[in-house]
Amino acid sequence: MSVSTNLHLSVIGTGYLGATHAVCMAELGFDVVGVDVDPVRIRRLAGGEVPFFEPGLEELLRKHLESHRLRFTTSVADAAATADVHFICVGTPALPGADAADVSYIDAAVTGLVRGGIRPGTLVVGKSTVPVGTAMRLAGRLDAEASDVELAWNPEFLREGSAVDDTLCPDRLVFGLHPDPVRAGMARSVLRRVYAPLIDAGTPVVAADYATAELVKVAANAFLATKISFINAMAEICAVTGADVIDLSAALSYDSRIGGRFLRAGLGFGGGCLPKDIRAFQARVDELGAGPALAFLAEVDAVNSRCRTRTVALTTQLLGGTVTGRRIAVLGAAFKPNSDDIRDSPALDVASALHRAGAAVTVYDPAAIPNCRVSHPQLTYAANAVHAATGADILLHLTEWSEFRELEPAALTPLVADTVIVDGRNTLDPAAWRAAGWAYYALGRPARPASRW
């Protein structure tokens, strides 16, 4: 496989992953074309507008549109004719009515490249999260339908809210390569050229087979989900023993074998990746006949769901056993801070459940309200946290935006009907809220603080 001295890249799919990858590859100095079947999305990107919230991305997009390193098109044939390396960054959602991943968009991207006249000597690189076995199947397809085109798998590890840094300063690069050592060597050399600035900066590289590369992403997500659900399971135990899960977590975090990251109890995980990916992982392993190996993930998922129902139950209890007619202010709607993504949002799940139970729910989020208005028109939305809290019988903190940590509890006291707060993320300062006269509650924490040294 031969490539030009100055590599030209294409990115197939310009959703969250693809748009971020295209912009960041331009930042690394490559000429990049982004491709998508959605003409509206392409027009917005070509006009310098990122169609989702991601800190720092829009500035880089405009920078590289102006530098002419970056352009966007709906023509896969254009990309096939001009690029040396094609990154596939399309979605793999759950199949309708099932947990298994839908890889039809991956197949469609490969079909588009083949029919568009993909040039011999080019490299196709999958970045999407796929069921193990997908890469080998696609490599066989390219062998049959294209001439001298190689395939590699390079999974992404982006976190919404820090995707630019995660792309430009990753903690590792994983290259999934063909079992034939010669073909693997050619693909690896091209990937090393693409990522040369990152590798030269010290980013570790793991070169592996296709299956290992595919498993790295889903295994990482499964581990993180397990760690989050573990501490939330401990929060359930703390609730019935009177222990404090925050102190428990702090004590665990000093153990170097455990660490403190992803060990904060609260409302649990959500978003478009973690829940979907662990379920698809389970489904694929079931297909392979090794289902018992991941049986524990069903309980991980169940613990996560219980965080939401327990928050609704706590809120209902604090309001005297019913929420009918009560005014509830919800701070947060995105599934995590620094994002406008509301897919499988724990915050919106809780807000919607309380609305269905008869509460008057008002929601504020710094970035996600436009998306919420479309998907949850039944809820009321506020322009800021103060407006949301005004007249509320209870305040729920459900997405840990820094803006909410900076609220002055005393300033809200005269505005609310009752000074009760549920900290669904355990990131507020209980002492500050209690000092301002608020009754502070959180899952896995005693209603009253323990004495401190």
> For the chain, how long is the longest CA-to-CA vector?
72
Whether 273 is catalytic is yes
Helix (H) / strand (E) containing 209 = strand 205-209
Selected catalytic residue, list 89, 238, 273, 307 = 273
Q: What is the dihedral of CA 275, 280, 286, 291, to 10 degrees?
A: -30
Judged by DSSP in three states, 35 sits in strand
Query: Sign of torsion, CA 397 401 405 408?
Result: negative
Helix axes 104-115, 134-145, angle to 10 degrees: 20
CA distance 145 to 119: 12
288 to each of 17, 128, 140, 291, how far by Cα in Å? Answer: 28, 21, 20, 8
Would you state the torsion angle of the CA atoms of residues 217, 221, 223, 224, taken in this order, to the nearest 10 degrees?
Answer: 140
Burial class from Cβ neighbours inside 10 Å (0-12, 13-18, 19+) for residue 453 reads exposed
Instruction: Show which residues are catalytic.
Output: 273
